[in-house]
Amino acid sequence: MADDLFKALADPTRRTILDELAEQSGQTLFEICSRLSMKHRLGISRQGVSQHLAVLEAAGLVETRREGRYKFHDLNTAPLRQITERWPAPAPSGPEESPS
Amino acid sequence: MRIHLTSVFVDDQAKALRFYTEVLGFVKKYDVPVGETDRWLTVVSPEEPGGTELLLEPAGHPAVKPYRDALAADGIPLAQFAVSDVRAEYERLSGLGVRFTQEPLEMGPVTTAVFDDTCGNLIQIATQPEEMSSPS
């Protein structure tokens, strides 16, 4: 599971997809492709985007839902908690512990 | 050569005519019976009565459903219409109960949105940037 997560995050295009889904949830494949090509000037095929989405879905970062004939993609940031739980920020030392 | 007519497949021609005229605001140009149940049914924009016609074509062919279902699942529109203000059209059409699969999205000079025409198709509306609308 952790391997899937880190692999998913290791690619800049996949991080851009997550950025766009954070801006607007519930996007069709067409909208994601439009954003990548028009906003980010990424020359990537629809199949390529589908493959990136499959990697993100395997990592649990993207979830899909069908509504009638349409399929929408949503961001799920819950798996990212694994990172902060594994490497928690050091607790700030209280003033009483600081050397005088 | 020029583009005189293009078409979308529609589940029900009478319903499609209502949607394309009463909701979208196009006007009927030709309505001619073809065979027992089908019609040669076209609409045009009132802004351009002599312009390109849109044929509302019966979706009876067995290839139409799998073709359209696959494109709909991925949110791919089957036609694009130009509007002067995508957001205003989005507000107007949403108020009439039209369902959008993509809300207005600004991408550089272009703004687009995608809606369901209730007849089996997704339609994209887009602003025409100045540099694209005037070929001179």
Q: What is the pLDDT of residues A23-48, one digit of tens each?
A: 999 999 999 999 999 899 898 999 99
Q: Taking 50 as the threshold, does the pLDDT of residue B136 lie above it?
A: no
Beta bridge partners of B111: B106
Write down the ipTM of this complex: 0.87
Contact A30, A49 (CB under 8 A): no
Q: B104 CB contacts (<8 Å, ≥6 apart)?
A: B86, B87, B90, B111, B112, B113
- Among B64, B68, B102, B112, most A C-beta atoms within 10 A, so best to mutate, is B102
Q: A21 CB contacts (<8 Å, ≥6 apart)?
A: A27, A32, A62, A73, A74, A75
Contact: A31, B107; criterion CB under 8 Å:
no
**Chain A residues in contact with B70 (beta carbon < 8 A):** none
pLDDT band at A1 (very low <50, low <70, confident <90, very high): low
Q: What is the pLDDT of residues B37-62, one digit of tens each?
A: 999 999 999 999 999 999 999 999 99
Q: What is the pLDDT of residues A63-96, one digit of tens each?
A: 999 999 999 999 999 999 988 899 888 887 766 5
Candidate CATH numbers 2.30.30.90, 3.30.70.260, 1.10.10.10, 1.10.3720.10; the one for domain A2-82: 1.10.10.10
**Chain B residues in contact with A23 (beta carbon < 8 A):** none
pLDDT for the residue numbered A91: 80
Mean pLDDT of A45-60: 96
pLDDT for the residue numbered B108: 82
Q: Which of A31, A66, A71 sits opposite B105 (nearest CB)?
A: A31
Contact: A38, B107; criterion CB under 8 Å:
yes
Domains of chain B by start residue, with CATH: 5-133 (3.10.180.10)
Domain boundaries, chain A: 2-82
